[in-house]
Amino acid sequence: MDRDEVSRQFRAYLRDHNLPITAQRLAIADIVLGSDNHLSAEDIMLELGARGAVAGTATVYRTLELLIRSGLAVERDFGEGFKRFESTRDTPHHEHLLCTLCGKVTEFSDERLERMTMLIAESNGYSRLRHRLVIAGVCEGCRNRESV
Ligand SMILES: [Zn+2]
Ligand SMILES: [Zn+2]
């Protein structure tokens, strides 16, 4: 799905639910759905500002809620004290690495890990539904900066 297609889907969602299609909502959707990053509400506010758009915090949160309900975005909690949001577009199941110094997020997926979670669930008498893994650490860039 490309960016126009997800934007079209969000407009369709708003229309189907009799919600106003405002320029602010579309701008927020475009930022979240058009990004490959895991954005915080603050990141989104900054990006809106950079684009010369104005939207209050309440509008940002309400729009994020709509994006999640429409299935176009998901919420991530990496235990940082705030949530991050990412587009579900072209993102099959994946796990995350989080740099505790700069907040950089890296995605990965690993077949062995997937099999492992299945085996762990089974050996405990569970049928696996879903899992989430966040590996916290220090990224290469920050390690290099620290050593100078
Ligand atoms: Zn870092
Ligand atoms: Zn991700």
Q: Could you read off the pLDDT of 52-64 as tens digits, one per residue?
A: 988 899 999 999 9
In the numeric block, which tokens belong to residue 47? 């990006």
Non-local CB neighbours of 128 within 8 Å, separated by 6+ positions: 117, 118, 121, 122
Neighbours of ion ligand 1 (CB under 5 A): 99, 101-102, 104, 139, 142
Residue 1, pLDDT score: 60
- The pLDDT, as a whole number, for residue 32 is 94
Tell me the backbone φ, ψ of residue 88, rounded to 5 degrees: -85, -5
Predicted confidence (pLDDT) per residue in 84-132, tens digit: 999 987 677 899 999 999 999 999 999 999 999 999 999 999 998 889 8
- Mean pLDDT, the chain, whole residue set: 92
Cα separation, 84 vs 104, in Å, equals 12
For residue 148, pLDDT over 90 is answered with no
Q: Which numbered ligand comes closest to the C-alpha of 97?
A: 2
Instruction: Give the number of the ligand closest to the Cα of residue 85.
Output: 2
Q: How far apart are CA 138 and CA 97, in angstroms?
A: 9
- Distance (angstroms) between ligand 1 centre and the Cα of 109 equals 20
What's the distance, CA 69 to chain centroid?
13
Q: 5 or 49: which carries more pLDDT confidence? A: 49
The first and second tokens of residue 102, run together, are: 């700069």
CA 91–ligand 1 middle distance (angstroms) = 23
Tell me: pLDDT of 47 over 70: yes
Q: For residues 127-145, give the mean pLDDT.
A: 93
What is the whole-number distance in angstroms between the Cα of residue 36 and the centre of ligand 2?
8
